[in-house]
Amino acid sequence: MIFEWTDEKIEFFARAGAYTGFHRKLAGLILPYMGADEDVIDVGCGLGLIDFELASRVRSITAVDEHPAVIRYMRDRVRARGPRNIFPRIADARVVSGGDWDVVLLSFFGTPDAGLKYMISEAGKRVVIITHGEDTDPVHSLVKPKVKKVFARDMEEFFLAERYAYRKHIVDLDFGQPLRSMEEAVYFLESYSLEQDAEAKRTRLDFLLKRVVETGDATYPYFLPKPKNVAVFAVER
């Protein structure tokens, strides 16, 4: 089962980002690797939430993704609220070829292989990579994940094998989901479930529902924590 962006998933994702400040905190970690006079391309940008946090500190950001729904979201947001130096485009990673970007940003996108070597070779100055530090998803102790994730150790093995010099930061953040009701919690978890097996799906749902906490907030009285151990790498040309 492949993840697909829907209007509901976009709303959940954007809500979580705004509530937890996840992308604002990520932006703070990578800003030291971006300059006010530099042009950035975010490959596989998704909703581009980190780009909206970075835009005021760089010259321009070209945000590319193959999914029309997320690019439509970004274009609508730019038209409504700016900033005017974000340029969303429907495209795949090949758009990097021949571009004039100082920084290539890969946020939870791509794998340590020939494709990453290509990105590094095409970057004007550096590639900034955000990926998983360690697997902190508690549900994986019960249900084997269906999607293979890239972890910091995978990146480091690749960089060492290819003899790339790099800088690394590890940080613990939370990208949990604020929820309006327990009924919405069930809907959210079922919407994001990739398990095909009914028993595995039920095990995951029961386990995560027990982790939902009350917030006392009138708008979002419930919150499902999602701790994320995040790794940031910067590779200079």
Domains and CATH numbers, the chain: 7-181+226-236 (3.40.50.150)
Pairing status of strand 39-43 against strand 103-107: parallel
Res. 221: pLDDT tops 90: yes
Q: Tell me: the pLDDT tens digits for 6-40?
A: 999 999 999 999 999 999 999 999 999 999 999 99
Q: How far is CA 50 from the centre of its chain?
A: 8
Q: Tell me: the pLDDT tens digits for 106-128?
A: 999 999 999 999 999 999 999 99
Residues 163 and 211: beta-carbon distance below 8 Å: no
Cis, peptide link before residue 83, omega less than 30° from 0: yes
Phi, psi of 217 (to 5 degrees): -85, 135
Other C-beta atoms lying within 10 Å of the C-beta of residue 212: 19
**Banded pLDDT at 98 (limits 50, 70, 90):** confident
- 149-177 mean pLDDT: 96
Phi, psi of 20 (to 5 degrees): -90, -15
pLDDT score, position 57 = 97
> Can you give the C-alpha Rg of the chain in angstroms?
18
Res. 192: pLDDT tops 70: yes
**Integer Cα distance of 209 and 206 in angstroms:** 5
**Integer Cα distance of 173 and 26 in angstroms:** 9
